[in-house]
Homo-oligomer: A and B are copies of this chain.
Amino acid sequence: MDRAPNEIEALTTQLARLPGLGPRSARRMVLHLIQRPDQSLRPLLAALERVAQTAQSCACCGNISTLPVCEICTDPRRATGEVCVVEDVADLWAMERGAVFRGRYHVLGGTLSALDAVGPEELRIPELVARVRDEGLREVILALPATVDGQTTAHYIADALGTVDVQITALAQGVPLGGELDFLDDGTISAALRARRAF
C-alpha cells in the first residue's frame, strides 16, 4: 500500500480495524468494492448509511434495532411471560437462530467481573429486576456463558430476584450435538454426567 492513494488507504485502514479482518483481507475487500461500484460499493454504502441513521438500543431489552423498542419486544405473540437473559446482542442473535425460544430477551451488556470492575449497575440488572416485577414475568431463563464470570453473574441475578415470585432456570450443560467425548474437555464430561437423565 506504499503508493496507494490516500482515500483508498484510509478505507483500508478503517476496514482493517474490524473484527476478523487484517490489512491483507481489508485490501482485498477494497479492491473488490472499487472494481464493482454498482454491484458492491454503492449497495454497501447505502446499507451502511441506513444503519447509521436508524440503529439504536431497544429501550426495553437492550437488543439492537432500528426502532426505539425492538421487533421482539413489540411482538404480542412473544409476550409469553418468559424472559431470556443473555450477555450481549450476539448471544441474543444466536438464540434467535436456534428458533426455539419464543419469549422475550434481556441483554445485560456484559457479565460481572471484579477484574474489569464491572458491577451490577453497568449490567442492566436493576432494569431486569424491575421488569420481572412490573411485567409479572413467569420465568427468567439464564442463558449466560458457562464461564466463571458468566456463572457468577447468574448467581447474582438469582439472588437479586430472591424476593420476587418468579421461576429461575438456566440452560442445560452437557455434551454438545455432534460432540465426540474424546474431544470434549473434562469439565463438560463431568457436568454431563452429573446432569444425566433417564433414557
Question: Chain A interface (Cβ within 8 Å of chain B)?
Answer: 1-8, 10-11, 13-15, 17-21, 25, 27-35, 37, 40-45, 47-52, 54-55, 64-67, 70-72, 88-90, 93, 96-97, 99
In the complex, the answer to whether A34 meets B64 with C-beta atoms within 8 Å is: yes
Q: Is the CB of A47 within 8 A of B11?
A: yes
What is the total number of copies of this protein in its complex?
Answer: 2
From residue A105, how far is it (CB to closest CB) to chain B in Å? 10
Instruction: Establish whether residues A90 and B27, one from each chain, have CB atoms under 8 Å apart when the complex forms.
Output: yes
Residue contact A32 to B19, C-beta cutoff 8 Å? yes
Output the nearest chain B residue to A109 by Cβ-Cβ distance.
B35
**What are 8 A-to-B residue pairs whose CB atoms are below 8 Å?**
A3-B96, A4-B93, A7-B54, A11-B47, A20-B25, A34-B55, A44-B48, A45-B45
